[in-house]
Structure 1
Amino acid sequence: MPQPPGGPIAYRTLHESPVVAVRDYTCRAAAGGPREEEVSTGNAVVLMRHGAFSRHFGRRRVTADVNEAAFFPKGATYRVSHEAGHGDRGTVFEVAPHALAAFLRELDPASADLPEPGIPFPAGPCENAVFWRHRELVLRLEGATAARPALLEPLEADALALQLVADVLEAAYERHGSARGRRRPATEEGHAERVEAARAFLTSRMTERLTLNEVAEAAAVSPFHLARLFRRWTGVPIHRYLTRLRLRASLELLAEPGTDLASIAADLGFASHSHFADAFRREFGCAPSEFRRRASGRALREASRIPEA
């Protein structure tokens, strides 16, 4: 997590897991600076939501605003200034060192021999689609409460956060002319095996509230790598794949007369009836109760066609 960018600052944790932490920060520093030198204690990515600040690396100045992703490489020293006194606010993404290192080695094979590769750039582009997904993620995380924590499951929060970090890091490497090497057939085969291991784990444990770290351990791959591999091979994010497993299994249960909707939701791993209903409606375009009525009506019609012995 980067040091406070000079001045009064408050952090608030929105999500935290063994893989990634997502924190909201608000800084109310007055205009001025550069201030005293600071040191980044770990690799972090900051996506701004309001205002701006500048970091000074010697004579070089790099401004962080809503159009750029700010990277805080571990061990980097800098000083902070604010051109305006309006304050700034953003989202800090802290990725577990082992997960980030695996992804950075994929982006830059030359860093494979480094024990702990760091982010080599202070900033990178934040495309409009990435910015929009970032804002949506923050809204969903802020909407989670003790009364309704199911707005975002841990696995989905991990996957969405890591995808944002991956997107801005890839864009930064492309800006600086760095390209990953071509994958070898043996590598492709290994990737496929990892994805299949993850799929097998998901199908066997789909009724549990899984974390991305648990699935990654079962597939013997880093969480960062798994989230990207899974989407590339299956065409859908890992959290959506898990949700679809549950939802499609629910159709058979809903067609059975007398089954309780809340029980179906709980048995399939949904945190609540409303969580199940919302996911069902997004996936199939109707409520579970509506599908049940149609399935029940069809069953009655079929039964009426069966001739008596």
Structure 2
Amino acid sequence: MSHSPDFDAGKTVGYTLFVVKHNFDNREPIEKCLYIGDRAWLGIFRCSAKHPLFYKPAHFAGHNMITFPRTAVELHMLGQETVVASPNMVAFYNHGQEYHRKKLSETGDWCEWFKFSPRLLAEVIQRYDPQAGEMELRPFRHSHILISARTLLHQRRIVHHLLTAKQRDSLWLDEMLLHLLDGIIAESYQYRQEKTPKRKTTQRSHQDLVVETQKLLIKQLHTPVTLAQLAQQLHTSSFHLCRVFRQITGKTIHSYLEQLRLRTALEWLPEYQNNLSGLALAVGYKNHSHFTQAFRDAFGVPPSQIEF
């Protein structure tokens, strides 16, 4: 990944204003390390879909890391399943993992990355899998998982603190990062408890159907959609689509779309602080009250009380 000059984080309020300050049509992507601790590191990566780096045929993860996507992008990981990256999930990269991207939006690939020391990863993973051993070379067994709203908000608050705080609290940051890692690993070991098809060809076709469904939901985020319409576009039956999507993701299609809309709203909140009705409409809700209640149910507080 290429590096760009530092930006003035102290003058940046939330990620939306950060994006406004930096035109991603410029030549270089942005990669910035925001925090270096004793056993955890955190940074950002922003690469426009117009940049040649986006289409590089092979990337290799230099560390064991976890990324939180900010945008929708299709990830192809060598030896693993295709991943539709979105704010609904986190992606796991073992050291040396080869991958490449495909465009789902003009925005490109925006994410935050978290790196943890091998010993810390092994210690946390062994809480949930005592047979895991040290696992220092390939600690992650999944390419990605869908994450809870609580975990996402936790991560957003850490990044927000790093971008806006005049004085950083290292003790608070280290503790928050450890809680975040523990929560992600706990969720990863609860993920995909449903039975998956035994035949590899069937499992692959089911995975492909889920990927195509997720891509359609991302494209149609702001417009009403019915199950019949989705099934018709995907050339399958409504029953088969519902069953396979839940079997692979552990979520219903409605739940996945609802989470995607609310997490997009969280992303856009700084732009709409004084126009929550406009934000509700922008992410596909029919009215302000329905949106506010759904947001409160997901994040524990109404959008007007998020400190971004």
User: Scaled by the length of structure 2, what TM-score is found?
Assistant: 0.49
Taking CA–CA contacts closer than 8 Å with sequence separation of 6 or more, which of the two structures ends up with the larger relative contact order? 2
Structure label with greater radius of gyration: 1
TM-score (norm 1): 0.49
